[in-house]
């Protein structure tokens, strides 16, 4: 069996640091960092992924260093924009064309880019950390597990303290159909967040996650 951990920004990770990173490293599970998460993971991820050009604008020097240190650097394709050490993929918002491109949904989320790539690469078990799509409480502005540190470093993200980015006017998940294409992979995608707004994937606790990756490599 092959497993991978995709690390997004959702605040559900926060109470579980540092046990999260120690457990993943001890069991030698590859870690893919999405957007700014790499800054607060205590070792280099296996792969760094983003979609939004603003992430590159703020982190290009870090990404170049990480590439020199052996990290795979992956982004949404922008013709003639990134240097050749960045691996890029065409993306699509239309699930009917995912055989050609990587599916990112109507919101074009980096988390779905990473998930689509993990599926394409055939991982048996895909564990999602920080895939919350905001918070289940619309008045809660604590949207990201690293947000306070990021703001101190003057990092800019459209989602910080703005759950509206992920939710509709009715405080329900925006574009829920984005996730339905992934339903056929339900039995190998695990959302390690019992309170996630994303209900398409099987939700498991952190203890379930620790137990699973200790058995399934």
Residue whose entry in the numeric block shows the structure tokens 């690390």: 7
Bond preceding residue 18 cis, omega within 30 of 0:
yes
Whether 50 and 38 have beta carbons less than 8 Å apart is answered as no
Question: How far is the C-alpha of 156 from the C-alpha of 162, rounded, in Å?
Answer: 12
Q: What is the mean pLDDT of each run of 10 residues along the chain (217 residues)?
A: 91 86 94 96 97 94 98 94 95 73 86 94 95 76 80 79 71 77 88 90 94 77
Angle between helices 19-26 and 206-215 (to 10 degrees): 10
Question: How far is the C-alpha of 176 from the C-alpha of 179, rounded, in Å?
Answer: 6
| Tally of domains within the chain | 1
Q: From 170, 186, 174, select the one nearest 134 (Cα to Cα).
A: 174
Q: Residue 102 — φ and ψ, nearest 5°?
A: -90, 135
**Nearby residues of 103 by Cβ (< 8 Å), 6 or more positions away:** 91, 92, 93, 94, 95, 112, 116, 181
Q: From 1, 5, 6, 10, select the one nearest 173 (Cα to Cα).
A: 10
Question: How far is the C-alpha of 88 from the C-alpha of 25, rounded, in Å?
Answer: 27
Taken in order 173, 135, 13, 153, the sign of the CA dihedral is positive
Longest Cα–Cα distance of the chain, Å, equals 46
- What is the CATH number for 178? 3.90.1480
Query: Which alpha helices (DSSP H) does 27-124 contain, by range?
Result: 53-68, 110-120
Per the structure, the complete domain to which residue 43 belongs is given by: 3-215
**pTM for the predicted model, two decimal places:** 0.92
């Amino acid at each position: 069996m092959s497993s991978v951990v995709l690390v997004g920004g959702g605040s559900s990770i926060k109470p579980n640091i540092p046990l999260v990173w120690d457990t993943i490293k001890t069991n030698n599970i590859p870690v893919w960092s999405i957007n700014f998460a790499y800054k607060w993971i205590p070792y280099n991820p296996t792969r760094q992924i983003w979609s939004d050009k603003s992430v590159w604008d703020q982190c290009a020097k870090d990404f170049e260093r990480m590439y020199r240190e052996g990290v795979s650097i992956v982004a949404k394709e922008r013709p003639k924009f990134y240097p050749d050490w960045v691996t890029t993929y065409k993306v699509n918002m239309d699930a009917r064309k995912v055989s050609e491109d990587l599916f990112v949904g109507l919101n074009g989320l980096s988390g779905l880019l990473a998930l689509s790539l993990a599926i394409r690469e055939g991982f048996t078990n895909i564990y999602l950390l920080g895939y919350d799509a905001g918070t289940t409480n619309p008045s809660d502005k604590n949207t990201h597990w690293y947000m306070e540190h990021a703001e101190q470093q003057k990092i800019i993200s459209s989602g910080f303290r703005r759950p509206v980015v992920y939710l509709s006017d009715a405080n329900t998940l925006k574009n829920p159909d984005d996730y339905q294409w992934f339903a056929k992979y339900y039995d190998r995608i695990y959302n390690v967040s019992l309170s996630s707004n994303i209900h398409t994937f099987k939700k498991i606790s952190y203890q379930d996650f620790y137990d699973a990756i200790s058995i399934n490599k």
